[in-house]
Structure 1
Amino acid sequence: MYISLSDRSGGKRDNSKSATTALKGAVPFRLSPVILWLGIVSMVTDVSSESVTAILPLYVTGFLGLSTIAFGFIDGINQGASAIVRIAAGWAADRSGHPKRIALAGYGLSMLARIGFLFAGGFWAIAAIVTGDRIGKGIRTAPRDALITVSAQPEHLARSFGMHRMLDNIGAAAGPLIAFLVLLLIPNGFSTVFVVSLAFAVIGVTILGLVVPDVRADGIREAQPKRRLFAFSWSQLKEPGLGRLLIAAGLLGLVTIGDGFIYLVLQDRDSFAVQWFPLLFVGTNVVFLLLAVPLGRLADRFGKVPVFVGGHLALLACYFLAAAPLGGVWATASCLVLLGAFYAATDGVLAALASQLTPAGKLATGIASAQTVVALTRMAASAGFGVLWYAVGASSAVLIAGTALGAAVVAVIFILPGARPKSGARPKPGARPKQGNA
């Protein structure tokens, strides 16, 4: 089943009615069934992935008895392995005209990786499984976001991404909670968590394969006729607006440390029991899912750049609060709220920005390029922060990271306003977007 942009309107558009609606500036929001089903797929898949992520530190260092250095290597793979294939997967989705098929391959690979957890018992086996899972994530993300983009109303693009991220993070919050409950009822019940994870992964792949239609953007095939199979060129990414976004995202990514480090700082400061550690993931993801839609609406109304920058200001506040000599439940909860707000204001908004700044026929490639830059720079940031922590201590390292982030935010304020959609960017039916919404 194929759905184009023109199909979603139900045939010919009533131009007089569209003009009247545009003049009133009140296009009613309608959530596409495609986005709803993709959100459900992401929700059950995140239950699968995050239930494992929440116990992986304890499983590797406690149950398997491996060193923290070994876990650091595995966590680095978890942060950046997906970057290996993101652009290639995005380009394949654009070139083939079947983003669903590429996304399905990614979800399927991650599902197969879940089987490996049932049999793995050493460092190299775990590292290989995590690599396969993250490569699957890298394959599926950009094609999935391309499906969201072409299924969304252009006037409510960030809000549509917010709806998807809200559903996604229901799963991201439920996964660690399920893992926590399993370990609470079954001490050392890691294999049970892996079985539950596999079951949810199978459900996600089944829904995607059987229910989600193969949506395609108009002209996705015609944009690159008679090209060689591997005719990708980096010049395709040299669009001025997209280039500015990539520079800004990379600069911010270099000073964005992994969530695990923030959680370790909080645990070290407050000395709460280790078994409560997975609930920190739950807190962040609950805030993310609650704020994803409101901040998406805010980005559509007042501009995506201000919301994107504001999200990094929330992260900056989280760093300084984590480094402050303040303990207790409220200080920890405030850090989780700020961290969740950061993701709600940046994750879907970045994809929406990239889609607006990408020319027609290169939608998934443009989104993937932004996501690749973020993945690679955050992987480097995590590695560098680990060394910094060892050299100067936890609080000082977080303060240094916060100072660097503050400087990066100031630079991005001057970089991003020049990122504007070109005339060849993805066509947007109806009224033209305001310049401030780039």
Structure 2
Amino acid sequence: MYLADRSAPAGARGAPDRGAGRSPVVASAVLALGTVSLITDISSEMVTAVLPLYLVAGLGLSPLGFGALDGVYNGVAALVQLTGGHLADRVRNHKLIAGIGYGLSALCKPLLLLAHGLGPVGVVLALERTGKGLRTAPRDALISLSTPAAAQGRAFGVHRAMDTTGALLGPLAAFLILSVAVDGYDAVFGVSACVAVLGVVVLVLFVPGAPGGGGTRRAAAEPGGRAVGVREALALLRLSRLRALAGCAALLGLTTVSDAFVYLLLQRRTGIADQWFPLLPLGTAAVFLLLAVPAGALADRIGRRTVFLTGHALLLTGYGLLLWAPGWPALSFLVLALHGAFYAATDGVLPAAVGATVPRELRATGLALVGTGQALARFGCSLAFGAAWTVWGAGPALCAAAAGLLCSAAVAAFVLRPPAGPPRRPRANPATRAIRATRGTR
């Protein structure tokens, strides 16, 4: 029933199974990384909460300029993920690359105090998102390599819950600072920079450098342990289960409407006042926080494929309510609950499935491949949905997205179906064979 576990290659299964036979627990490295993400998300969401108002009201940017910056803010991180994942595997030090990413993001926070105008602000935001892109895959690889295979869903659920806690606290902190500080925006950016530095300090002091033996010292001790090159990374594409995961994640991402559009549609259906609109993302985040760990543990127990597809079924139900349910007050709570449950059932479950498919020496690269494809697909969906809304209206656009999600989920359910018959004895996977062959010719 797992997305990829039953056909996971030997190299992928053997690495994290050091805790096999013992009750699944959350490793200290996962808790430390969750703390880093919590602190960093407080810092990032403080800026995100005030950025639209700061740019439009403070700097006088046009809506078109803000739209361009928003595209930079969300698109750069996805493109840089591949670089961060490959670098982490190449230097065999995931903590180092993650630390560079966290440090770059922290450095950019005070630069917002000096940036004025579309160009400088765009450069700072691009650098900040570059830091996020660099750290995402190495961080998830550290979580995967620190956790037994049977408990990866729970581990990613714990991390995502801690990360979401930061996303809830960040806007609240920004609100409090703006209400008491004289130079509100400058104070928010300054405090955000200090909090981001604290996250980097926690990473350096408390996150192990080589969980499960995945760091530089392990690489030096392994026979023939050399840096992973581009040829070995490309060999990942020979893994049929990874191709299936990446393809299905991208296909479903093409029909996953942006959160902002969901909130706008919900406001139109229910007539929520403008002053309450900023609280809608907090509703999604609160449900995500409550369900992330139970959803991850359930995925470990009954199968990641089942939970992952159920999450998209919940999202489809939310689309249906936005289209056809009466506009009564409870609609807001139902849609936000389904939206948060969708993220709880998918955001940590997908990397857990990828970790069971990819050999440990290419773990970050594999996670980056799937994550980048999904992020770019969702970005394309946002562009297409916005254009469809403009041309056809909100209702027909959402109908098309719902129909596409239904068809995509059916295809994903078929492609990701468990293999028929009893599990076969695992063989060396193509990526591992390519790595050995390449090293043998050097």
Structure 1's 228 and 199: CA in aligned 2 closer, same or farther, altered over 3 A?
A: closer
Task: Give yes or no for contact 1:99–1:216 (8 Å, CA) kept in 2.
Answer: no
Larger RCO (CA within 8 A; separation ≥ 6): 2
Please report how far the alpha carbon of residue 265 of structure 1 lies from its aligned counterpart in structure 2 after TM superposition. Answer: 2.0
Q: Is residue 364 of structure 2 the alignment partner of residue 377 of structure 1?
A: no
Aligned pairs for 1:5-20 (under 5 A) are none
Counterpart residue type for residue 237 of structure 1: L
Q: Choose the corresponding residue for 1:204, options 189, 199, 202.
A: 199
Counterpart residue type for residue 395 of structure 1: G
Aligned pairs for 1:340-379 (under 5 A) are 340-379=340-379
Task: Give yes or no for contact 2:316–2:402 (8 Å, CA) kept in 1.
Answer: yes
Pairwise CA RMSD: 2.7
Query: Following the alignment from structure 1 to structure 2, what is the Cα–Cα distance between the partners of residues 326 and 60?
Result: 36
Q: Is residue 131 of structure 2 the alignment partner of residue 131 of structure 1?
A: no
Structure 1's 317 and 129: CA in aligned 2 closer, same or farther, altered over 3 A?
A: farther
Please report how far the alpha carbon of residue 392 of structure 1 lies from its aligned counterpart in structure 2 after TM superposition. Answer: 1.6
Query: Following the alignment from structure 2 to structure 1, what is the Cα–Cα distance between the partners of residues 246 and 169?
Result: 32
Counterpart residue type for residue 206 of structure 1: V
Which deviates more from structure 2 when the two are superposed, residues 292-301 or residues 127-136? Answer: 127-136
Q: Which residue of 1 aligns with 2:278?
A: 278
Aligned pairs for 1:34-433 (under 5 A) are 34-184=29-179, 189-218=184-213, 221=219, 222=222, 225-226=225-226, 233-324=233-324, 326-417=326-417, 423-424=427-428
Is there any run of 5+ residues in structure 1 with no aligned partner, and where?
427-438
Please report how far the alpha carbon of residue 101 of structure 1 lies from its aligned counterpart in structure 2 after TM superposition. Answer: 0.2
For 2:24, what is the secondary structure of its paired residue? coil
Task: Give yes or no for contact 1:95–1:224 (8 Å, CA) kept in 2.
Answer: no
Structure 1's 320 and 70: CA in aligned 2 closer, same or farther, altered over 3 A?
A: farther
Cα shift readout 1:240-292 (whole Å, capped 9, x = no counterpart) = 11000011001011111211111222234444343433322211111111101
Query: Following the alignment from structure 1 to structure 2, what is the Cα–Cα distance between the partners of residues 423 and 145?
Result: 25
Structure 1's 193 and 147: CA in aligned 2 closer, same or farther, altered over 3 A?
A: same
Q: Which residue of 2 aligns with 1:436?
A: none
Please report how far the alpha carbon of residue 188 of structure 1 lies from its aligned counterpart in structure 2 after TM superposition. Answer: 8.2
Query: Following the alignment from structure 2 to structure 1, what is the Cα–Cα distance between the partners of residues 283 and 182?
Result: 23
Task: Give yes or no for contact 1:177–1:279 (8 Å, CA) kept in 2.
Answer: no
Query: Following the alignment from structure 2 to structure 1, what is the Cα–Cα distance between the partners of residues 305 and 31?
Result: 25
Is there any run of 5+ residues in structure 2 with no aligned partner, and where?
1-13, 431-442
Identity %: 42
Structure 1's 181 and 424: CA in aligned 2 closer, same or farther, altered over 3 A?
A: farther
TM-score w.r.t. length of structure 2: 0.85
Counterpart residue type for residue 247 of structure 1: G
Task: Give yes or no for contact 1:356–1:425 (8 Å, CA) kept in 2.
Answer: no
Query: Following the alignment from structure 1 to structure 2, what is the Cα–Cα distance between the partners of residues 63 and 270?
Result: 31
Task: Give yes or no for contact 1:180–1:278 (8 Å, CA) kept in 2.
Answer: no
Structure 1's 6 and 64: CA in aligned 2 closer, same or farther, altered over 3 A?
A: closer
Query: Following the alignment from structure 1 to structure 2, what is the Cα–Cα distance between the partners of residues 329 and 185?
Result: 33
Please report how far the alpha carbon of residue 404 of structure 1 lies from its aligned counterpart in structure 2 after TM superposition. Answer: 1.2
Please report how far the alpha carbon of residue 88 of structure 1 lies from its aligned counterpart in structure 2 after TM superposition. Answer: 2.0
Task: Give yes or no for contact 1:80–1:378 (8 Å, CA) kept in 2.
Answer: no
For 1:361, what is the secondary structure of its paired residue? helix
Query: Following the alignment from structure 1 to structure 2, what is the Cα–Cα distance between the partners of residues 181 and 325?
Result: 36
Structure 1's 184 and 273: CA in aligned 2 closer, same or farther, altered over 3 A?
A: farther
Query: Following the alignment from structure 1 to structure 2, what is the Cα–Cα distance between the partners of residues 147 and 159?
Result: 15
Task: Give yes or no for contact 2:16–2:149 (8 Å, CA) kept in 1.
Answer: no
Counterpart residue type for residue 159 of structure 2: H
Query: Following the alignment from structure 1 to structure 2, what is the Cα–Cα distance between the partners of residues 247 and 403?
Result: 18
Query: Following the alignment from structure 2 to structure 1, what is the Cα–Cα distance between the partners of residues 54 and 399?
Result: 30
Task: Give yes or no for contact 1:223–1:361 (8 Å, CA) kept in 2.
Answer: no
Query: Following the alignment from structure 2 to structure 1, what is the Cα–Cα distance between the partners of residues 388 and 16?
Result: 54
Please report how far the alpha carbon of residue 208 of structure 1 lies from its aligned counterpart in structure 2 after TM superposition. Answer: 0.4
Query: Following the alignment from structure 2 to structure 1, what is the Cα–Cα distance between the partners of residues 37 and 64?
Result: 31
Task: Give yes or no for contact 2:61–2:118 (8 Å, CA) kept in 1.
Answer: yes
Query: Following the alignment from structure 1 to structure 2, what is the Cα–Cα distance between the partners of residues 386 and 251?
Result: 18
Which deviates more from structure 2 when the two are superposed, residues 28-37 or residues 259-268? Answer: 259-268
Structure 1's 425 and 276: CA in aligned 2 closer, same or farther, altered over 3 A?
A: farther
Cα shift readout 1:322-351 (whole Å, capped 9, x = no counterpart) = 334633542112221111111111111110
Structure 1's 149 and 83: CA in aligned 2 closer, same or farther, altered over 3 A?
A: same
Please report how far the alpha carbon of residue 163 of structure 1 lies from its aligned counterpart in structure 2 after TM superposition. Answer: 0.8
Cα shift readout 1:1-41 (whole Å, capped 9, x = no counterpart) = xxxx99996xxx9xxxx7xxx5xxxx423221111110000
Structure 1's 370 and 50: CA in aligned 2 closer, same or farther, altered over 3 A?
A: same
Please report how far the alpha carbon of residue 358 of structure 1 lies from its aligned counterpart in structure 2 after TM superposition. Answer: 0.8
Q: How many pairs does the alignment contain? A: 408
Structure 1's 252 and 334: CA in aligned 2 closer, same or farther, altered over 3 A?
A: same
Task: Give yes or no for contact 1:44–1:203 (8 Å, CA) kept in 2.
Answer: yes
TM-score w.r.t. length of structure 1: 0.85
Structure 1's 285 and 398: CA in aligned 2 closer, same or farther, altered over 3 A?
A: same
Q: Which residue of 2 aligns with 1:430?
A: none
Task: Give yes or no for contact 1:176–1:278 (8 Å, CA) kept in 2.
Answer: no
